[in-house]
Every structure is written in structure tokens, then in C-alpha cells.
Amino acid sequence: MIYLIGEYECKLDTKGRMVVPAALKRQLPDVEREGLVVNRGFDGNLVIYTRNEWNKILTQLSRLNQFQAKNRDFVRKFTSGATELMLDSAGRVLLPRVLLDYAQVANELVLVCNLSKVELWSKAKYEEKMASISEEDFSDLAESVMGDFDLEGGLDV
């Protein structure tokens, strides 16, 4: 499993293409051969997965009991709009207009690495989201989420 790092500001061209930043591309050694998958996120953003990570998610989804309506509804909604992205010779990917509209991305966007996936946000929505979490809130979140987290040898942050 790979863990990605970084935050990248990007722009879309008039056709809805985005250049994958070189620093991010270096972290994705198989991206030109295997491509990526983009999908709706849960927070009004988009999420980009490596093909390998997307396949892991599909494997998990395939284990859900399809005789339960909530499982079918979730799988249907979650996979709706998922699109394969292939890099062109200039290192660009064409983002589907329907997904860009969902995430309210016009021209400027931010790619935020989040463990094994990349969140794609409209720049304005991302700045608003981050501003809504004060330093005190962040400290409280850290304590709430990580306070009782027990790792061998502890967690150094």
C-alpha cells in the first residue's frame, strides 16, 4: 500500500483537463500504465484512486449482501459516476463534467493527498472547509480521534 503526501493547487483548461503535478505523479509509479479512477466524495468533493486502490474498494463492496436494499443503494450511489482517468502524452487527465459540476469545480482546484487516495476540491470549497476547523477544534479532534489510539511504540506526531 502506498501513502501519498502533498497538497497541490491546479487549474483546469477549457476542455476540463488537469495536469497531474509532477511531484504527485512521482508517487504513482504505475499511473501511466494503469490509470486512475475518479469518483464522488462524501463531502462535496471528488476522490481519485489508483486502479489498485479502487479494485480493493470494489472487492469490499462485492462482499456486501446484495439482498439488502441499503447495500444495493449504497453500492449504486457510491459507484455512480466513477470514471477511469488515463494520462495523455502531456500528463493531463480529462475530468468528467458531471463530476466537476458535483464538486462545484470551475477552474481552480486543490488536490489533497489523504493516505492512499487524493481528494479533489474546488479551491474555494477547500479553503472554506479548512477555515471551518479552528486550531482548537483541530486539537480537540486529535485528542478525540487519536487520544486512545494504541500503537506499538506509541505515535510520534
pLDDT band at 29 (very low <50, low <70, confident <90, very high): confident
Query: How many beta carbons lie within 10 A of that of residue 72, not counting itself?
Result: 13
**pTM recorded for the entire structure:** 0.89
Q: How many helices (H) and strands (E) does the chain have?
A: 7, 8
Cβ-contact 35, 84 below 8 angstroms: yes
Cβ-contact 47, 38 below 8 angstroms: yes
pLDDT digits (tens, 9 = 90+) for 67-109: 999 999 999 999 999 999 999 999 999 999 999 999 999 999 9
pLDDT above 80: residue 11: yes
